[in-house]
Amino acid sequence: MTRPRLVTGARLRYDEVRAEHQMLVPEGVVRLNATAAEVLELCDGERSLDEIVSALSERYGGGDLRGDVVGLVEGLAQRGLVVDAAV
């Protein structure tokens, strides 16, 4: 995975009714915790995975978030919900 982006048609939003972050896709919804939503907001097909990791690490005081970010992105990629913009 070089430059992750959300699959075509995906929309991130906060659902006021259920008080949760969501990724809406054709005929489906992925419920997200606040951190996952932050990661996916950076998956714009422009930033590299490394850039996403450092942006978040900086935001959270320098901790290494690489494992968490890669785990989330790869997991969603296996379900076809995140794709590589570089391919």
Partner 1 sequence: MPPSRPSTLIAELSYQCPLHCPYCSNPLEIGDARYRDELASDDWVRVFEQARALGVLQLALTGGEPMLRRDLPALCAAARDAGLYSSLITAGTLFSDERARALRDAGLDHVQISIQSPDPQENDRIAGNRSFASKIDAARLTRELGFPLTINCVLHRQNLDRIEEILELALTLDAQRLELANTQYYGWAAVNQDALMPTAEQLQRGEEAVQRFRERVGPRVDVLWVLPDLHEDLPKPCMGGWGRTAIVVGPSGDALPCQAATTIPGLELPNVREHSLEWIWTESDAFARFRGTDWMQEPCRSCPLGRQEVDWGGCRCQALRLTGDAAATDPVCRLSPHHDRVVAAREPARTDEFVYRAIRRPARV
Contact status: 67 vs partner 1 (CB under 8 A): no
Three-state secondary-structure class, residue 20: strand
Backbone Cα Rg of the chain: 13
The Cα–Cα gap between 59 and 31 comes to: 23
What is the footprint of partner 1 within residues 6-25 (CB under 8 A)? 7-9, 11, 13, 15, 17-18, 22, 24-25
Q: Report which DSSP code applies to 10.
A: -
Which of 33, 44, 74, 79 forms a contact with partner 1 (CB under 8 A)? 79
- Site residues for partner 1 per CB under 8 A: 7-9, 11, 13, 15, 17-18, 22, 24-29, 77-80
